[in-house]
Structure 1
Amino acid sequence: MSRFSALSHRQQGLLLTGGGALIMAPDALLIKVADLPDAEILMWRGFLSALGFLLIALVRYGRGTLAAYRRCGWTGIAVALLFSLTTCGFVLGNQYTKAGNVLMILAGAPLIAAGLSWVILKERLPRRTWLAIWLCMAGIAMIALDDAGAGSWVGNAFALMAATTLAINFTLCRTRPGIDMSPMLVFNGLIVGSVAGLFWLAGSETTLPATNQLAVVILLCLVIVPCGVTLLQRGPLYLPAAEVGLLLLLEVVVGTLLAWWILAEQPAPMAMVGGTLVLGTLFAKGLYERRLELRLRAGVEPALQAPVERSGGL
């Protein structure tokens, strides 16, 4: 038995989700460090991540890989298209505004998904979720209003597009419970890489990036993105949504701190307040829902144990 198998179900979920969030934390930072033109960074990210996702799918499913793709159906195609927009929004957002701003705005994706679930899936949301949605939207607005110069409005808009399409993606996946959509991310990479490649070829410069830039791109797109996203995709199979949401904040917090520290990005006071409001709201909501879950479990387990005790006395 492996050490991972020896862990409890919850411990496995904590390791997978927390590990995926930490792996993805330097994503925005490395996009900045690569310092490549828009089309070129998107082309490399698309094709290299497609290769990474394909290798992971082959390792996970082996001879059943084609069957895994067939199970995704048309929903999987829509997931691939939506994640292509998420990728473009995230990468281009980092090209035009501060990495910390992009990560903070992206942190609102789970709550946008909650709102979409209420509209599309007719799910009733508790008041605490609506309160969290409005607080996060206020925080995101503060980040967007941080500064309107130097193209930051464009970057914030791209980041909001990434958050919104990711939220739609979450909602769409919930219409097919139990189906793993992660293999379809191969097609997301091919779509992004192909479209960006056409723009790159149409540009004036089509030379390969410098050795140091290429090393950063390969590390990010072939290793970090496929491994991190795959681990995050597995986390919800082991942990409740409230706890997964808390662990996902690791990517935002660690990624923002890395960008502020290494890139010396100095956030404006309004952006700091907005980011604190977003993260604080998500953290408080996750903790509150975790407490509710523990109370519910404590009330259910004794009721389940009572018949066993009675039958044991017969």
Structure 2
Amino acid sequence: MILVFLSALMWSFGGTIARFIDITDNWTIVFWRSAWAAAFLIAFMAWRDGWRGMLKLFRDMGLPGLAVAFCFAIASTSFIVALAHTTVANILLMQAGVPLLAALLAWLLFRERVTRATWLAIAAVIAGVAIMVSESLGGTVSPIGDGLALLIACVFSIATVITRRFAYVRMTPATCLGTILAGAFAASQASAFAVSSHDMGLLFVFGVINLGVGLVFFATGARLVPAAIAALLGTFEPILGPIWVWLVHSEVPSARTIIGGTVVVTALLVHIGLEFKRQARPERPGVTGLPSPN
């Protein structure tokens, strides 16, 4: 539980770190952040599994691992670009609904059973996201920022469903490959790679501490706790992220972002609470307990 919480804490600093970086070319930021994260993850896997073990992990990922890697590459790249067009709160609060969007996607693709409470929570998440996105539709904020924030939530939902369906896929090598893909694409788009020592220090923290260490904490801890607890602890990222940016950079989210984000986070917390209650309910005599797809 501590490791999963620490992963959410590391990830929550992403927007705050990004606001300190003076580089104007987003692709340069994506390249260096991805490069530092990939280097750290490769070093970690080599230390933990050995070079042969690490190569075996990459080989064993298969198509599901490649799909997760592409999803992560899209999400991590979109996060950097979105920061130039919208607030940190908008991006992170939309991501809070990923577990419920994943449940909706699993029902659409695989007809996994969805409870009535989950349907209500999904409806609330869609309503909350609609409230946040409505500002871009009215021309108040850039539709590019909100569009990318919504894309991040969608690809994370896809990655979540894939990981659940193919439980043998190891998250660490898949996300490492995602950082490599993101860095390679950014290298083809960046106007320059030279950055100041100040910005390079921030990019190191951005890639290694915020992204790499957060992934290691989550990959290590999430396997040891129930999924509902991991999801609950994960909500600290969208809750704490906007707070850090507000305290450090005085970036105040709009009223619609606060209202829509509150709807999303509340729906998720209520859903997780009901899931805890359902899992804690003792089985009736003579009834075989089957694992729920939710």
Fold match (TM-score > 0.5) = yes
Structure 1 residues 46 and 150: alpha-carbon distance in aligned structure 2, compared to 1, 3 A threshold: farther
- Deviation of residue 95 (structure 1)? 1.8
Q: Which residue of the partner structure matches residue 72 of structure 1?
A: 61
Deviation string, structure 1 residues 48-84 (Cα, Å, up to 9, x no partner): 1111111121122124212222221122112111111
Q: Distance in 1 between matches of 2:171 and 2:90?
A: 28
- Does the aligned pair in 1 maintain the 2:41–2:176 contact within 8 Å? yes
Q: How does 1:215-234 map to 2 (within 5 A)?
A: 215-234=201-220
Deviation string, structure 1 residues 265-292 (Cα, Å, up to 9, x no partner): 1222222111111111111111121122
Aligned sequence identity (%): 26
- Deviation of residue 150 (structure 1)? 7.1
Aligned partner of 2:174 among 181, 184, 192? 184
Q: How does 1:280-291 map to 2 (within 5 A)?
A: 280-291=266-277
Select between 233-242 and 95-104 the one with higher mean Cα deviation: 233-242
Secondary structure in 2 matching 1:221: helix
Q: Which residue of the partner structure matches residue 169 of structure 1?
A: 159
Q: Distance in 2 between matches of 1:78 and 1:110?
A: 18
- Does the aligned pair in 2 maintain the 1:97–1:155 contact within 8 Å? yes
Q: Which residue of the partner structure matches residue 292 of structure 2?
A: none
1:138 matched to 2:124? The reply is no
Aligned partner of 1:28 among 8, 11, 15? 15
TM-score if structure 2 supplies the norm length?
0.90
- Does the aligned pair in 1 maintain the 2:7–2:214 contact within 8 Å? yes
Q: Distance in 1 between matches of 2:4 and 2:282?
A: 23
Select between 135-144 and 178-187 the one with higher mean Cα deviation: 178-187
TM-score if structure 1 supplies the norm length?
0.85
1:269 matched to 2:255? The reply is yes
Deviation string, structure 1 residues 73-130 (Cα, Å, up to 9, x no partner): 1221121111111112222111210011100011111111111111222211101111
1:157 matched to 2:147? The reply is yes
Secondary structure in 2 matching 1:125: coil
- Does the aligned pair in 1 maintain the 2:89–2:257 contact within 8 Å? no
Find the structure with the greater CA-based Rg.
Answer: 1
Q: Distance in 2 between matches of 1:288 and 1:124?
A: 16
Q: Which blocks of at least 5 consecutive residues in structure 2 are unaligned?
A: 289-294
RMSD across aligned positions (CA): 1.9
Q: Which residue of the partner structure matches residue 240 of structure 1?
A: 226
1:279 matched to 2:265? The reply is yes
Structure 1 residues 235 and 130: alpha-carbon distance in aligned structure 2, compared to 1, 3 A threshold: farther
Q: Distance in 2 between matches of 1:55 and 1:121?
A: 37
Deviation string, structure 1 residues 230-284 (Cα, Å, up to 9, x no partner): 2223333222222111100111111111112212112222221111111111111
Q: Distance in 1 between matches of 2:86 and 2:57?
A: 38
Q: Distance in 2 between matches of 1:161 and 1:35?
A: 25
Q: Distance in 2 between matches of 1:281 and 1:35?
A: 37
Q: Which residue of the partner structure matches residue 257 of structure 1?
A: 243
Runs of 4+ in structure 1 displaced over 6 angstroms? none
Select between 287-296 and 113-122 the one with higher mean Cα deviation: 287-296
Q: Distance in 2 between matches of 1:175 and 1:286?
A: 20
- Does the aligned pair in 2 maintain the 1:88–1:162 contact within 8 Å? no
Select between 262-271 and 107-116 the one with higher mean Cα deviation: 262-271
Q: Distance in 2 between matches of 1:105 and 1:156?
A: 9
Secondary structure in 2 matching 1:146: helix
Aligned residues, how many?
283
Q: Which blocks of at least 5 consecutive residues in structure 1 are unaligned?
A: 1-13, 304-314
Secondary structure in 1 matching 2:27: helix
